[in-house]
Structure 1
Amino acid sequence: MKKGFVTAFAVFLFFSVFPHVETFAIANTPIHWGFNKGKNGQQADAGAAYNAVLQKYGGVYKGNPKDKYLYLTFDNGYENGYTPKILDVLKKEKVPAIFFVTGHYLKSQPDLVKRMVAEGHIIGNHSWGHPDMTQISDAQVREELAKVKEETARITGQKEMKYLRPPRGILSERTMQLANEEGYTHVLWSLAYQDWDVNRQHGARYAYDSIMSQIHPGAIILLHTVSKDNAEVLERVIKDLKKQGYKFKSMDDFMKIEKVKK
């Protein structure tokens, strides 16, 4: 009896100190997204362990290596004056994209978000406050996602939100499971370069080479709209990739083509 009391008290004390510990029944070890870059038309590869986790929870980062399809994605944490030009290029070239937005972007740039949806692009969830979601509670993760979805619907009328890009590229099995429960698919990427640092822009040629050297069939391309270089080079990149036989598809197309299931 005494032993049972001690055990019960220990459990009570543990959950009092760690009220969200139930979430850690599913592994919460942070995964900092990364991969071996694609080269000479060969696909990028995140390795067996990361591939297995994504497959388990229905996350994606690249498509079929036999299809010359590309998926253009942008992360929008704040506006730096270049998104209108990027949207102009996408419209001119008839290329669909998905923009992963934060709460700050929704609050500060509602007109641009409206334009994205009006021109046929998808708004994805990049969280409200851009936290490391492996370090916050289940309830906080759900709130981060819900606020972006609700504000996007209010601004644009886009009622459905299906795609999530984890802030900072950090995720875990726990956060993936939570996202699945909220109806989201994790969309990572297989092509990126250091374009997000506005103090380290190296010119259009550098941006062009960084993208084209990594291109591969099925690539999910991550770009940041804060980059001056991206805005300057995007049209050339798109036109040259079309000349190589690539076709740009939306994330909704990706899900149909790849038949992704959570």
Structure 2
Amino acid sequence: MLSDRHTSRRLLLVAAGMSLLGVAGCQGSQGADGGSATPGAEAAGAASDGPAAAPASAAPSVPSAPSASSVPQSAAPSPVSSAPASSAPGPAASGSPVAAPRPVAAAESKPVYELDAERRVVALTIDDGPDPRHTPTVLALLEQYRIRATFFLIGENAAVHPDLVREIAARGHHIANHTWTHPDLRNLSDARIRDELERTSDLLNKATGKPPTWFRAPGGDWSTASLKIAADLGMRNMAWSVDPRDWARPGTAVITDRILKDVRPGAIVLNHDGGGDRSQTVAALKKYLPVLIDSGYYFTAPPG
């Protein structure tokens, strides 16, 4: 009888131990499914994606004069070459998660006015689209000359023409943020600035599956708040060094002459495909692009 009691007690202890092991095993396996992974596992997963940039801790001052940028370019671009369409981010599938932006360090939030002046490169930037009248023609020209450009899109235009947004991305061009309504950011509250930038970034992210990593203030009118908010949203700020003032429609010859006169190695050229009649800009592109190519310039887009 005593032996039977000892045997029963031993069986109960074994059963309890197996139950505890089963619970521990379930808890340890939840990390792979997004449950309660241990801090060490989360750290290891983050390390595999590379270190994220530190968030902006202080509002940077707005520079009063253009200065050279430290934008890295690890390899010389091929002559007049753009990224093939297959390398461009495709549109996000319906209902699929979009990529999360990484904050930009405060030191990198100041506007970039030019690229590496030691190399014969030009960055072509196109503002205020997409526009159904002029954007397709600009895209055809860039494809003809195998040039990759950066398109700074206005959110409300992108919302009306999402197919054009996807077409720009599919052709390998860089898509960037130019606010939702093109306001003067210096006159807006911090909350309004954030809304202008965040709405546009969210829309472009959903359309292409990739958050924009560059921002341009309308008119180049940055504010201390807009610089910080853009950095918080994972965007660096891009200005320009060559402005033909094509938005004022001074004439095709004037636009062409201003660009060819002012362009230099590392230049960032400002043009527009939206915001009005841009037929003069399109005509100027047809004239000055082959001249720059024949002069030995390479076209590039800043790293995303």
User: What TM-score does the superposition give when structure 1 sets the normalisation length?
Assistant: 0.71
- Which residue does 1:51 correspond to in 2? none
Is the 2:130–2:165 contact (alpha carbons within 8 Å) kept by the matching residues of 1? no
- Which residue does 1:196 correspond to in 2? 247
Cα drift, residue 77 of structure 1:
4.7
Is the 2:182–2:218 contact (alpha carbons within 8 Å) kept by the matching residues of 1? yes
Q: Give, as a single letter, the amino acid of the residue that structure 2 aligns with 1:139.
A: A
After superposition, the C-alpha distances for 1:200-241 in whole angstroms (9 at most, x for unaligned) are 341x32221121011111001110114212211213312111
- Which residue does 1:79 correspond to in 2? 131
Q: Give, as a single letter, the amino acid of the residue that structure 1 aligns with 2:225.
A: R
Task: Please list every run of 5 or more consecutive structure 2 residues that lacks an aligned counterpart in the other structure.
Answer: 1-57, 69-105
Cα drift, residue 125 of structure 1:
0.4
- Which residue does 2:262 correspond to in 1? 214
- Which residue does 1:124 correspond to in 2? 176
Q: Determine what percentage of the aligned residue pairs are the same residue.
A: 29
Task: Please list every run of 5 or more consecutive structure 1 residues that lacks an aligned counterpart in the other structure.
Answer: 1-24, 36-45, 49-53, 256-262
Equivalence map 1:80-159=2 (5 Å):
81-154=133-206, 156-159=207-210
Larger radius of gyration: 2
Cα drift, residue 57 of structure 1:
3.1
Cα drift, residue 102 of structure 1:
1.0
Equivalence map 1:169-248=2 (5 Å):
169-197=220-248, 200-202=249-251, 204-226=252-274, 227-248=278-299
SS class of match (1:208): helix
Residues 205, 168 of structure 1: CA spacing in aligned structure 2 closer, same or farther, 3 A cutoff? closer
Is the 1:67–1:217 contact (alpha carbons within 8 Å) kept by the matching residues of 2? yes
Bigger RCO (CA 8 Å, 6+ sep): 1
CA distance in 2, matches of 1:61, 1:76: 19
Is the 1:82–1:225 contact (alpha carbons within 8 Å) kept by the matching residues of 2? yes
Count residues in correspondence: 207
Mean Cα displacement is larger for which, 184-193 or 232-241?
232-241
- Which residue does 2:41 correspond to in 1? none
CA distance in 1, matches of 2:171, 2:67: 36
Mean Cα displacement is larger for which, 184-193 or 142-151?
142-151
User: What TM-score does the superposition give when structure 2 sets the normalisation length?
Assistant: 0.62
Residues 78, 118 of structure 1: CA spacing in aligned structure 2 closer, same or farther, 3 A cutoff? closer
Residues 56, 161 of structure 1: CA spacing in aligned structure 2 closer, same or farther, 3 A cutoff? closer
Is the 1:201–1:228 contact (alpha carbons within 8 Å) kept by the matching residues of 2? no
CA distance in 2, matches of 1:27, 1:87: 35
CA distance in 2, matches of 1:235, 1:186: 28
CA RMSD of aligned residues (A): 2.5
CA distance in 1, matches of 2:270, 2:209: 22
